[in-house]
Amino acid sequence: MELFDSHAHYDDEKFNEDRDFIIKEIYKSGVTKFVSAGYSLESSKKGIEISNKYDYVYTTCGISPNDIPYEKDKIEQELNQIEKLAKENAKVLAIGEIGLDYYWNKDNKDLQKYVFLEQIKIANKLNLPIMIHTRDAIMDTIDIIKNTEFAKPGIFHCCPFNKDLIQAGLDKGFYISFAGPVTFKNSKNAKEIVSIVPIEKLLIETDSPYLSPEPNRGKRNDSRNVVFIAKKIAEFKNMNVEEIAKITYKNAKDVFNIK
Ligand code: NI
């Protein structure tokens, strides 16, 4: 069985001690493709560096709503650099993670929307999908999804369990990526939410090193744990885990345009 982890962060300092070792162990375990996603200019550069070392590691470039610089000039400079990095590096599969986060930042909503929309423009220009981070900003995210044109179907990364959000995404052909929370005992509506996503739009991810799924909750996460997400979704969909692995692998290759 081969698995594709559509979203993790191997530039994170939690991997400073054993990054190369873990990346190789992940591959050996059967997770034969994974994405080390960027969330700031700095992490986008590191993601490119890491992905260039391994055939099976890919990356994304973007400025998350929690990593927007304070100075206006710097924002424009960074947006230009994100575009340049994405354009010049073949391992960059998407613009992300980008979006809105009113949990960590409530005071700059307009600026968050601006930076999100500017990066959607970059993705459209480069014909890349976007990878969306959204937290406590469901209504504004839905509003932007509904009122924006996308060159490629995007991805809701670590998708919140909200039907309207998922429906708005599906209406635009988006893919829905589920992470550790589907395995959490307190995620009461997880089964219902997973059931509304057609299998051809499903992706699985770990968001490593955070959000470890059960039974490893609380420990450092890495892409080997993506199997627990696959198992849970298989249980919810009444399918076997091999089928879920195969379908999500194909979906990831499709959305990221991997030959
Ligand atoms: Ni992430």
Residue range 186-208: average pLDDT?
96
CB atoms within 10 A of CB 105: 18
Locate 194 and state its tokens.
């997973």
Q: How far is the CA of 9 from the centre of ligand 1 (A)?
A: 7
CATH number of the domain enclosing 70: 3.20.20.140
Question: If pLDDT is split at 50, 70 and 90, which confidence band does 42 have?
Answer: very high
Which residues place a Cβ less than 5 A from the ion ligand 1? Answer: 207
CA pair distance 135, 226, nearest whole angstrom: 22
Query: 101 alpha carbon to ligand 1 midpoint, in Å?
Result: 12
Rounded Cα distance, 49 and 201, in Å: 29
Expressed in angstroms and rounded, the spacing between residue 22 Cα and the centre of ligand 1 is 18
Axis crossing angle, helix 72-88 with helix 41-53, rounded to the nearest 10 = 20
Task: Give me the sign of the Cα torsion angle 69, 70, 75, 81.
Answer: negative
Rg (CA), the chain: 17
| Cα–ligand 1 centroid distance for 34 (angstroms) | 13
Mean pLDDT calculated for residue range 26-48: 98
Find the helix or strand (DSSP H, E) in which 21 lies.
helix 19-28
184 and 153 in contact (C-beta within 8 Å)? no
- Which residue in the block uniquely carries the two structure tokens 């909200």? 162
- Determine contact, residues 227/241, Cβ cutoff 8 Å: yes
- Ligand 1 centre to CA of 178 (Å) is 12
CA angle 244, 207, 227 (to 5 degrees): 30
**Parent domain of 30:** 3-255
pLDDT of 188 higher than 90: no
Q: Which residues contact 201 (CB under 8 A, 6 or more apart)?
A: 170, 174, 175, 176, 251
- pLDDT for 118-136, tens place per residue? 999 999 999 999 999 999 9
% of the chain at pLDDT higher than 70: 100
Distance between CA atoms of residues 223 and 59, nearest Å: 14
- How far does the centroid of ligand 1 lie from the alpha carbon of residue 6, in Å? 10
What pLDDT, on the 0 to 100 scale, is given for residue 23?
Answer: 98
For CA atoms 95, 99, 105, 108, give the dihedral sign: positive
Distance 97 CA to ligand 1 centre (A): 7
pLDDT at 195 over 90: yes
CA of 234 to the centre of ligand 1 (A): 23
Q: How many domains does the chain have?
A: 1
CA of 154 to the centre of ligand 1 (A): 15
Interval between CA 77 and ligand 1 midpoint (Å):
23
Give CA–CA dist 231/227, Å, rounded: 6
Q: What pLDDT is attached to residue 121?
A: 98
Mean pLDDT of 203-223: 96
Q: What pLDDT, in 10s, does the model give residues 61-120?
A: 999 999 999 999 999 999 999 999 999 999 999 999 999 999 999 999 999 999 999 999
Q: What is the pLDDT of residue 234?
A: 98
Amino acid making up residue 216: N
Mean pLDDT over 164-179 rounds to: 98
Dump the DSSP string for 86-132.
HHH-TTEEEEEEEEEETTT--TTHHHHHHHHHHHHHHHHHHT--EEE
Question: What's the gap in Å between 111 CA and the centre of ligand 1?
Answer: 20
